[in-house]
């Protein structure tokens, strides 16, 4: 699929400013959409929206289908009549420059419990009907997820492998007893998902009305401690005691002598194929409900993936195995139609693997990624240098897994990379973030994306994630309120216009004298 010549900004909703310790789907999200529209952008790229478990990573979600309740806006719950304004008074102290997940989860869970209690006690009939419709329509994943989460909370959030054997192995009698004893808790989990999707789809509708499209994200693997694995263990490699026999990772490379051991259970592709890839069809259907375009993380894993025996402490002792390849995507496309996909095709490849991944992308028209931070290490033939791009690429200054542009230049790059970057850019390097933004926007690649940290020229401390590390400061960064100034907006609009990335027929929005439309501010609740 050939994308039009457009640009966008990468920002996870948890990073939005606001009063409640974590970004949410309230006022600041809508103001960010207004900023994107005012600067001629076409895309808002987000990371997975999954509920997170230990480590707070959206790439280790508790479900491949559910949304993160921590993104629910308390102010929107007030507007829906599920909370009163009084419930939003006397907030605990939350840092405005980072997410403190422990205190945030504690406080926000209490608000969600109150909202559910109010809904149960006094919801209007039309609200009850809407909730019932949601539960019925989404029952294919929601029933198992709600039961999983109710059980998880009743087990002090321990992973399902540590639950009673009869529950861990889903014995029918034990599940029936759990459903009866936890009926209210199950309904509460369903309520949270209903509210997440109500708020997210409302935001998406507003975003699409402005001409902006969401780029979502599908991690290829899922966490072992997830509703998906617990409810359908036959789709993954486990032994008879539900102990994984193999795990995910990538082999040693230039960046890591021991590789990266991710630790996800691996799919039984033969079983999935025998079931017509139903789970994947459902997963893509949900992803394309939440977003307009989907980036597939670790796309190469569909061609070949690195299998590491369970129990290994590094990824060294692994082997490459073939994935489902085109068979999966032909089946999913037959069920859902042609999909708008971006293939994250980064990493070290041998010639055979590279050819296999390229062939898969070419057959289905999925553009790959070029990260400009990677461009300056091997001279003019480097495939990440923009003069080597073709149109069917997505050019990034960096991603959530890279340092910021300034952090890369000041901290993570080598002297040779910095020297070559300055020569290539014709710049002294004093404004490296915007130099790279200009390079991405000027490139022939039809799509150009920059993390919001690069717009703000932020350094290493604003990095979103460092792969193969766990816990803070990963996933904690937040956008300071008011940081996206009119000056920055004007500069971004100018570059977008100069390099022909404005949407067709784009016109500036009418001036609102009562609002700084280009400033992202906290929820006004």
Residues known to be catalytic: 297, 344, 401
CA pair distance 114, 349, nearest whole angstrom:
51
Q: Write down the number of H helices and E strands in the chain.
A: 18, 12
Comparing CA positions, the residue from 157, 181, 158, 178 lying closest to residue 167 is 178
Q: Is the dihedral of CA 313, 460, 300, 343 positive or negative?
A: positive
Q: Which residue matches tokens 């994250």?
A: 344
H helix intervals, 260-345? 269-274, 278-290, 326-336
- Give the angle 143-146-152 at the CA atoms, nearest 5°: 135
Please list, residue by residue across 204-218, b when 16 or more beta carbons sit within 10 angstroms of its beta carbon and e when fewer do.
beebeebbbbbbbbb
CA pair distance 38, 28, nearest whole angstrom:
15
Residue 87 neighbours by CB distance under 10 Å: 17
CA pair distance 352, 361, nearest whole angstrom:
14
Give, as one character, the DSSP assignment of residue 267: B
Per DSSP (E only), the strands in 220-322 are 246-250, 260-261, 293-297, 304-309, 319-322
Q: Which residues contact 241 (CB under 8 A, 6 or more apart)?
A: none
CA pair distance 311, 150, nearest whole angstrom:
30
CA pair distance 495, 40, nearest whole angstrom:
10
Q: Which residue matches tokens 């990335």?
A: 501
* 135 in Cβ contact with 166 (< 8 Å): no
Q: Is the dihedral of CA 374, 380, 383, 385 positive or negative?
A: positive
Strand-by-strand arrangement of the 293-297 sheet: 341-343, 293-297, 213-219, 43-45, 6-10, 447-451, 393-396, 368-371
CA pair distance 510, 514, nearest whole angstrom:
12
Pairing of strands 260-261, 319-322: unpaired
Residue 250 neighbours by CB distance under 10 Å: 23
């Amino acid at each position: 699929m050939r994308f039009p010549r457009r640009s966008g900004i990468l920002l996870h909703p948890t990073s939005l400013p606001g009063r409640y310790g974590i970004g949410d789907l309230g006022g600041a999200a809508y103001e960010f959409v207004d900023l994107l529209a005012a600067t001629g952008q076409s895309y808002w790229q987000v990371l997975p929206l999954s509920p997170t478990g230990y480590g707070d990573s959206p790439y280790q979600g508790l479900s491949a289908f559910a949304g993160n309740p921590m993104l629910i806006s308390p102010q929107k719950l007030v507007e829906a009549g599920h909370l009163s304004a009084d419930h939003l008074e006397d907030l605990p102290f939350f840092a405005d420059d980072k997410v403190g997940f422990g205190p945030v989860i504690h406080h926000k869970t209490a608000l969600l419990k109150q909202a559910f209690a109010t809904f149960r006690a006094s919801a209007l009939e039309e609200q009850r009907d809407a909730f019932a419709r949601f539960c019925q329509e989404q029952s294919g994943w929601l029933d198992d997820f709600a039961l999983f989460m109710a059980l998880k909370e009743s087990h002090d959030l321990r992973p399902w492998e540590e639950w009673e054997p009869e529950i861990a192995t889903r014995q029918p009698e034990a599940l029936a007893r759990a459903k009866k004893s936890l009926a209210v808790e199950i309904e509460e989990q369903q309520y949270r998902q209903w509210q997440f999707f109500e708020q997210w789809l409302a935001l998406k509708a507003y975003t699409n009305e402005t001409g902006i499209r969401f780029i979502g994200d599908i991690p290829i693997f899922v966490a072992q401690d997830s509703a998906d694995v617990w409810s359908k263990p036959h789709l993954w490699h486990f032994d008879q005691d539900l102990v994984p026999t193999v795990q995910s990772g990538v082999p040693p490379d230039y960046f890591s002598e021991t590789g990266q051991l991710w630790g996800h259970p691996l799919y039984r592709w033969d079983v999935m194929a025998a079931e017509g890839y139903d789970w994947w069809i459902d997963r893509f259907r949900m992803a394309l409900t939440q977003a307009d375009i989907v980036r597939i993380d670790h796309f190469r894993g569909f061609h070949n993936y690195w299998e590491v025996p369970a129990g290994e402490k590094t990824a060294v002792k692994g082997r490459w195995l073939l994935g489902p390849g085109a068979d999966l995507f032909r089946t999913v496309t037959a069920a859902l139609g042609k999909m708008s996909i971006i293939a994250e095709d980064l990493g070290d490849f041998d010639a055979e693997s590279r050819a296999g991944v390229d062939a898969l992308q070419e057959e289905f028209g999925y553009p790959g990624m070029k990260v400009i931070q990677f461009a300056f290490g091997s001279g003019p033939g480097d495939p990440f240098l923009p003069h080597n791009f073709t149109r069917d690429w997505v050019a990034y200054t960096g991603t959530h897994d890279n340092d910021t542009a300034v952090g890369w230049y000041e901290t993570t790059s080598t002297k040779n990379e910095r020297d070559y970057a300055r020569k290539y850019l014709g710049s002294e390097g004093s404004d490296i973030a915007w130099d790279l933004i200009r390079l991405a926007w000027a490139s022939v690649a039809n799509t150009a994306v920059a993390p919001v940290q690069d717009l703000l020229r932020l350094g290493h401390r604003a990095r979103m994630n460092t792969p193969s590390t766990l816990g803070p400061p990963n996933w904690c960064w937040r956008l300071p309120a008011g940081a996206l100034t009119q000056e920055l907006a004007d500069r971004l609009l100018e570059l977008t216009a100069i390099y022909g990335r404005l949407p067709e027929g784009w016109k500036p929005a009418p001036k609102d004298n009562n609002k700084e439309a280009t400033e992202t501010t906290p929820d006004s609740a």
